[in-house]
Amino acid sequence: MKIAELYNRKTTLSFEIFPPKKDSELKNIDATLEILCELKPDFISVTFGAGGSANCNRTIEVARKIKQKYHVEPVVHLTCLSYSKGEIDEFTRILKSEGIDNILALRGDRNPEVLEKDDFHHASDLIAYLRENGDFCILGACYPECHPESESRISEMRHLKQKTDAGAEVLISQLFFDNQYFYRMAEDCRIAGIDVPVIPGIMPVINAAQIKRMITMCGASFPERFEKIICKYENRKEALFDAGMSYALSQIIDLLTSDISGIHLYTMNNPVVAGRICEGIRNII
Ligand code: FAD
């Protein structure tokens, strides 16, 4: 099923997971998936490690499990900087043979250790290529606080519009902790004539070290209210968990009452986190 069709009918709840780093850990993912899938998300997206066929294989393997064993729709992430058109063709051929219809098409982060090839320079190149050469529902990424490499909000929107013009039917956002950034970006999208569903990505805090790492990597800012939580509870694991959950729930409820099309939860493969969020919005979404 192509997940863009869902947005005509309902407000969606989706999860993001990452494949295990080692093949030997593939079995353990079942325990996580079992609980996540019982929560009945509309889809689960599986991240893609940049470079190397082992990474792609694990992404496909987990997506296959999600579809065939748990009967939930998978979305496969796919980056393009380090791949040729031929390699992308091979990847999409496998996806089709597995009955996987949805791809989150990304450029990928630049990594000096991974060779970049010449076929794709931006996510919009990959999106256009997938649109011309396959029958997939294509999703793209967007950034409430702008991508770290962007010159301005205007150039960011110009490039985002290129993605939707090239064929992205849904946009999923980078994590953020201040909803005002998301609302501002959604408004920018309307002004730029981007009229596909724009889905906020929410990451509940589960531990302070991890969140600080994410912030350095993705550039999301801490609002004061959120910083106070980290400062007060960073050394009290259970308290941080409770306060972080409440914070994420308050973000989600604010978004849901502002007529967004869905919520995408960065689960960090933690089913307890996903379960707590689902419990908190069971009668709302
Ligand atoms: P692009 O859309 O190509 O944008 C990157 C930068 O280039 C932006 O600054 C943009 O403004 C600029 N740009 C775009 N088009 C042009 C143009 N034509 N000319 C000049 N500049 C341009 N990474 C992974 O490795 N694996 C994953 O699974 C993964 N999943 C993600 C999921 C989500 C929801 C998000 C938000 C990010 C994810 N990422 C993942 C991270 C992502 O790969 C990085 O943020 C990467 O740096 C940019 O990818 P993009 O697809 O947004 O790139």
Q: Which residues of 70-84 are buried (b: 16+ CB within 10 A; e: fewer)?
A: eebbbbbbbbbbbbe
Specify the pLDDT at position 172: 98
Atom of ligand 1 nearest to the CA of 46: 28
Residues 6+ apart with CB under 8 A from 131: 138, 166, 167
Confidence of residue 22 (pLDDT cuts 50, 70, 90): confident
Q: Which amino acid is at 17?
A: I
Give me the domain span that covers residue 50: 3-281
Mean pLDDT of 71-88: 97
Instruction: Give pLDDT, residue 25.
Output: 80
Q: Residues 53-76: pLDDT tens digits?
A: 555 679 999 999 999 999 999 999
Confidence of residue 205 (pLDDT cuts 50, 70, 90): confident
141 or 114, which is more confident? 141
Q: State phi, psi for 55 to the nearest 5 degrees.
A: -65, -45
CATH of the domain at 14: 3.20.20.220
User: What per-residue string of b and e applies to 221-249 under the rule 16 or more CB within 10 Å gives b?
Assistant: ebeeebeebbeebbeeeeebbebbbebbb
Q: Rounded mean pLDDT of 119-133?
A: 98
CA of 106 from ligand 1 middle (Å) equals 5
- Which pLDDT band, with edges at 50, 70 and 90, does 52 fall under? low
Report the alpha-carbon distance of residue 19 to residue 26 in Å, rounded.
8
What is the separation of C-alpha 38 from the centre of its chain, rounded to a whole number of angstroms? 20
Which atom of ligand 1 is closest in space to residue 77's alpha carbon? 28
> DSSP secondary structure string, 108-156?
----TTS---SS-SSHHHHHHHHHHH---EEEEEE-TT--TT-S-HHHH
Average pLDDT over residues 97-122: 95
Domain total of the chain: 1
Ligand 1 binding site (Cβ under 6 Å of any ligand atom): 47-48, 50, 77, 79, 104, 106-109, 122-124, 141, 147, 149-150, 155-156, 159, 162, 172, 174, 201
**pTM of the complete model:** 0.97
- Indicate which atom in ligand 1 lies nearest the CA of residue 146: 9
Q: What confidence score (pLDDT) does residue 256 get?
A: 97
223/270 Cα distance (integer angstroms)? 24
- Ligand 1 centre to CA of 108 (Å) is 6
Three-point CA angle 7, 11, 13, nearest 5°:
105
Residues 17-46 as b/e (b if ≥16 CB within 10 A, e otherwise) read: bbbbeeeeeeeebeebbeebbebebbbbbb
Q: Which residue of 122, 189, 268 sits with most ligand 1 atoms within 8 Å of its CB, as the best mutation to test the pocket?
A: 122
Q: 19, 61 in Cβ contact below 8 A?
A: yes
At 177 the pLDDT is 94
In this structure, the strands spanning 137-142 and 198-202 are: unpaired
Q: Whose CA is nearest to atom 40 of ligand 1?
A: 108
* Residue whose CA lies nearest to ligand 1 atom number 47: 109
Lowest mean pLDDT among 21-35, 137-151, 176-190: 21-35
pLDDT value at residue 50: 65
Tokens of 159: 């490039």
Q: From ligand 1's centre to the CA of 109, what distance in Å? A: 7
With cut-offs at 50, 70 and 90, classify the pLDDT of residue 213.
confident
Give tens-digit pLDDT for 181-204.
999 999 999 999 999 999 999 999
User: Which positions are catalytic?
Assistant: 16
In DSSP terms, 123 is beta-bridged to none
> How much is the mean pLDDT over the chain?
93
Pairing of strands 198-202, 170-175: parallel
Mean pLDDT confidence for 85-99: 96
Mutating to test ligand 1, I would choose from 106, 155, 171, 175 the residue with most ligand atoms within 8 A of its C-beta, which is: 106
